[in-house]
């Protein structure tokens, strides 16, 4: 056990906690029993403060065994295993993760706590949909839970930010693949309306779809975008079949960049270069998994580019038919002159039953914003109002600045979540800086 200063991937709001590593369910239970405030932490990829607890205990699980994969693609895996580790095991055997977020440097436990989604949400839903069962240690006991066995706890844990218990291991159903390649179509659009109408019409034909949007251009080119869509290459699509695991990052950011490096001018220039270098329209190009699913994993510690002050990610979703809210959000951002890296625009499919799960059928937009400009807090508060007026919500796994009142409106099933929480953790031992900040487990 040691005292460590921890913050999220955005490198804001650091706090000190006692770090405790555990490698069995018994050790997890003992750690929970011995602490007044405790939360599990994986690889620290959530942007804000959900995996830290000031003055409490942060639990790091060494339970990372990857079990054998049966003929239906079902396996058991420890919650401490990273998606990277899991991919290394399953790709060579012809299996793939049913859902992968933008980085494979997250743990299984983290993927459950955030109920992560990927480029295939419009087809396959979030991570939760592919989890058949899990072992979870709560302050009141250890249990195997699934949609049929204590479904309440199972769904509250999916997207529950680690506040209902510490996941020890899960049973996951994988996706069968023929090759380690993806067939990708890329198309460039001069503005947001064009890309959104193409996504509405054509996304259903692809398993994976995502658009990168420039949020700094205004006028006729507002929200110009590059849409990439694809599917796993079949054996017939490639010259020779290969099933290789992804490789580690080759580049690394060795030190903190000056806080002002990513400013409106440099980001505008980057966005411009990126847009111009993207193909106007390219069909059926073969790409590797890594470059298609995890482009940012090519550079280690890229969050250091934002410097000492760090950055925030703002991701919201709005229901089907609220495309105009996305447009107004980008307009507000572009007119505020704030620096914002390429935003990610995506269509969501059906929600998961989790009371705190983020996705809802419709649109989602994710923005990366360096901390620093005095107007940024207010602009994001304005966006909250905009999102709320469309009955949308902000993603908690990325949040670093919401207010408790807004959460209650954005997650109307919060009380349902609290009921389950109170049942399995009556003393509210499982808590985090985020849970305190947003009063998720009661004021």
Partner 1 sequence: MENAFGQPQTVVVLAGSSDIARAITKKLCAARAQTVVLAGRNQELLDEARNEALTNGASRVDTVIFDARDPSNAERTVNESFEMAGEVVDLVVLAVGVLGDQERFENDATLAAEMATVNFTWPVAALARVRSLLVTQGSGRIVVISSVAAVRVRRAKYLYGGTKAGLDRLCIGLADSLEGTGVTLQIVRPGHVRSKMTSGMKDPPFATGVDDVANDVVKGLADRRAVIWSPPILRYVFFALRHLPAPLWRRVTDEADR
Residue with smaller CB distance to partner 1, 287 or 381 = 381
Contact set with partner 1 (CB under 8 A): 5, 10, 12-17, 48-49, 54-56, 259, 308-310, 312, 371-372, 374, 376-377, 400-403, 433-434, 436-437
CB of 294 to partner 1, least distance (A): 24
367/320 Cα distance (integer angstroms): 20
What are φ and ψ of residue 434, in 5° steps?
Answer: -65, -45
DSSP 8-state symbol, 90: H
Task: Name 276's Cβ contacts closer than 8 Å, sequence gap at least 6.
Answer: none
The SS3 call for residue 274 is: helix
Task: Name 265's Cβ contacts closer than 8 Å, sequence gap at least 6.
Answer: none
The neighbour count for residue 223, using CB atoms within 10 Å, is: 29
Residue with smaller CB distance to partner 1, 34 or 273 = 34
What's the residue count for the chain?
443
CB of 418 to partner 1, least distance (A): 18
Based on its alpha-carbon atoms, the radius of gyration of the chain, rounded to whole angstroms, reads: 21
Residue with smaller CB distance to partner 1, 102 or 310 = 310
CB of 112 to partner 1, least distance (A): 23
Residue with smaller CB distance to partner 1, 386 or 434 = 434
Task: Name 13's Cβ contacts closer than 8 Å, sequence gap at least 6.
Answer: 7, 48, 49, 52, 400, 433
Among 393, 418, 421, which residue's Cα sits nearest to residue 407? 393
CB of 371 to partner 1, least distance (A): 6
Residue with smaller CB distance to partner 1, 14 or 67 = 14
Residue with smaller CB distance to partner 1, 52 or 169 = 52
184/380 Cα distance (integer angstroms): 34
CB of 14 to partner 1, least distance (A): 6
Q: In Å, how far are 91, 251, 337, 418 from 316, measured between CA atoms? A: 32, 30, 20, 22
Residue with smaller CB distance to partner 1, 144 or 336 = 336
Burial annotation 349-374 (CB, 10 A radius, 16+ → b, else e): bebbbbbbbbbbebbbbbbbbbbbbe
Residue with smaller CB distance to partner 1, 13 or 329 = 13
CB of 57 to partner 1, least distance (A): 11
CB of 314 to partner 1, least distance (A): 10
CB of 52 to partner 1, least distance (A): 9
Q: In Å, how far are 67, 97, 174, 243 from 89, measured between CA atoms? A: 9, 11, 12, 11
């Amino acid at each position: 056990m040691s005292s460590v200063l921890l913050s999220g991937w955005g490198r804001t709001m650091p706090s000190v906690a006692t770090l405790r590593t555990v490698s069995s369910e018994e050790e997890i239970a003992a750690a929970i029993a011995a602490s007044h405030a405790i939360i599990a932490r994986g690889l620290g990829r959530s942007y804000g403060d959900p995996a830290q607890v000031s003055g409490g205990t942060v639990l790091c699980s060494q339970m990372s065994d990857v079990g054998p994969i049966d003929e239906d693609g079902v396996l058991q895996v420890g919650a401490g295993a990273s998606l990277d580790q899991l991919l290394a095991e399953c790709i060579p055997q012809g299996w793939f993760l049913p859902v992968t977020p933008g980085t494979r440097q997250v743990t299984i436990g983290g993927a459950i706590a955030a109920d992560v989604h990927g480029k295939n949400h419009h087809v396959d839903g979030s991570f939760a949909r592919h989890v058949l069962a899990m072992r979870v240690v709560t302050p009141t006991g250890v249990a195997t839970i699934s949609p049929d066995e204590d479904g309440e706890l199972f769904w509250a844990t999916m997207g529950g930010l680690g506040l209902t218990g510490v996941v020890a291991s899960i049973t996951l159903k994988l996706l069968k693949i023929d090759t380690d390649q993806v067939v990708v179509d890329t198309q460039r659009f001069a503005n947001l309306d064009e890309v959104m109408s193409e996504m509405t019409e054509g996304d259903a034909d692809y398993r994976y779809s995502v658009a990168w949007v420039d949020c700094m251009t205004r006028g006729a080119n507002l929200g110009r975008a590059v849409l990439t869509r694809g599917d796993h290459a079949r054996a017939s699509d490639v010259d020779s079949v290969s099933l290789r695991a992804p490789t580690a990052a080759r580049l690394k950011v060795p030190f903190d960049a000056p806080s002002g490096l990513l400013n409106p001018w440099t980001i505008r220039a980057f966005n411009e270069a990126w847009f111009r270098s993207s193909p106007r329209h390219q069909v059926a190009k073969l790409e590797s998994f890594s470059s298609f699913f995890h482009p940012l994993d090519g550079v280690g510690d890229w969050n250091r580019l934002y410097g000492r002050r760090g950055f925030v990610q703002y991701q919201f979703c709005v229901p089907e038919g609220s495309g105009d809210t996305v447009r107004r959000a980008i307009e507000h951002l572009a007119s505020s002159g704030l620096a914002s890296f390429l935003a990610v625009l995506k269509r969501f499919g059906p929600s998961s039953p989790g009371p705190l799960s983020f996705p809802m059928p419709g649109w989602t937009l994710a923005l990366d914003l360096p901390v620093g400009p005095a107007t940024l807090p207010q602009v994001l508060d304005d966006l909250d109002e905009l999102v709320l007026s469309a009955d949308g919500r902000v993603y908690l796994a990325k949040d670093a600045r919401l207010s408790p009142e807004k959460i209650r409106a954005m997650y109307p099933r919060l009380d349902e979540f609290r009921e389950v929480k109170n049942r399995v953790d009556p003393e509210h031992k499982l808590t985090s800086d985020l849970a305190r900040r947003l009063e998720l487990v009661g004021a």
